[in-house]
């Protein structure tokens, strides 16, 4: 695959807060859409493994307050092709007009496939997420770097699904949210088919659409160096945040800031 030679990294929440105020930064965009009488973009949020659309609740509330039309997809988590197809269906059936797609964790692989060839998608946002290229698998990407400690807590069942040990969610998946919230996350977890990590990715939308990435420096589910590698390869506008894997829940302001930046870049912020 080669070693990335180009990486644009902004540090922390201050970088996100400064997006609108710094027109010469890498995230600088056109004037807000409202100034031109344009409708704000739709936002389609795609969850990852072991969670569902509710994992985006904090981000959803922030974006709705700002006037965005937000929809959080509910994935079947039965295979990567199934999840890509369902997300494409939701995009086509439920949203009209310019749309920013955001994926968390495994959801990054889903939006990379679902946004391919979708003219309405104006930008991609990846939060602590996978960005596979065509022909890659998530298992193969994980093998490029030392395995993150959290993966040791996945538990296969008799139907080929993987669960995450509920007792390990507060310490490995989401250690930077309140313990009570982490226990709720564990109680409502959604298992993912093991095959999702072996399914081959199709054409990658990040090769043709502008992309933004949040790298979680304290991630115990995806090696942060793998997140950096994938973000650099995609030439994504990137911030690094001292966050666990559960960045949409623990750092919603930073994640929402990237989504706003993507919408503004497409002229619909």
Q: What is the pLDDT of residues 108-133, one digit of tens each?
A: 999 999 999 999 999 999 999 999 99
Q: Please say if the pLDDT value at position 239 is more than 60.
A: yes
Tens digit of each residue's pLDDT (9 = 90 or more) over 13-71? 333 333 333 332 333 333 333 444 569 999 999 999 999 999 999 999 999 999 999 99
DSSP bridge partners of 28: none
Give the domain 8-21+40-265 fold: Rossmann fold (3.40.50)
CA distance 233 to 236: 8
Give me the percent of the chain exceeding a pLDDT of 70: 86
Joined together, the tokens standing for residue 100 give 């920013």
- Per-residue pLDDT, averaged over 149-167, amounts to 98
- Per-residue pLDDT, averaged over 174-185, amounts to 97
| Domain segments of the chain as ranges | 8-21+40-265
Tens digit of each residue's pLDDT (9 = 90 or more) over 132-142? 999 999 999 99
- Per-residue pLDDT, averaged over 162-186, amounts to 97
Joined together, the tokens standing for residue 264 give 């503004």
Task: Decide: helix, strand or coil at residue 48.
Answer: coil
pLDDT of amino acid 150: 98
């Amino acid at each position: 695959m080669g070693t990335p030679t180009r990486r644009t990294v902004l540090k922390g929440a201050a970088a996100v807060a400064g997006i609108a105020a710094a027109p010469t930064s890498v995230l600088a965009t056109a004037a807000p859409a409202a100034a031109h009488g344009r409708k704000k973009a739709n936002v389609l949020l795609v969850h990852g493994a072991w969670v569902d659309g509710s994992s985006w609740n904090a981000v959803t509330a922030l974006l709705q307050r700002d006037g965005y039309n937000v929809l959080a997809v509910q994935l079947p988590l039965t295979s990567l092709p199934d999840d890509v197809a369902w997300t494409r269906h939701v995009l086509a059936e439920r949203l009209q007009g310019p749309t920013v797609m955001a994926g968390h964790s495994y959801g990054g692989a889903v939006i990379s496939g679902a946004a391919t060839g979708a003219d309405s998608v104006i930008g991609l946002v990846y939060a602590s997420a996978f960005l596979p290229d065509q022909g890659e698998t998530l298992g193969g990407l994980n093998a490029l770097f030392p395995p993150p400690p959290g993966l040791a807590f996945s538990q296969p069942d008799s139907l080929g699904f993987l669960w995450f040990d509920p007792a390990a969610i507060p310490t490995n998946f989401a250690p930077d949210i309140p313990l009570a919230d982490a226990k709720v996350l564990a109680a409502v977890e959604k298992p993912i088919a093991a095959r999702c990590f072996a399914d081959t990715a199709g054409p990658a939308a990040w090769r043709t659409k502008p992309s933004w990435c949040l790298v979680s420096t304290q991630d115990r589910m995806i090696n942060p160096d793998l997140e950096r590698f994938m973000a650099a390869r995609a030439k994504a506008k990137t911030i690094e945040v001292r966050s666990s894997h559960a960045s949409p829940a623990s750092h919603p302001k930073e994640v929402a800031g990237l989504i706003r930046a993507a919408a503004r870049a497409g002229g619909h912020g």
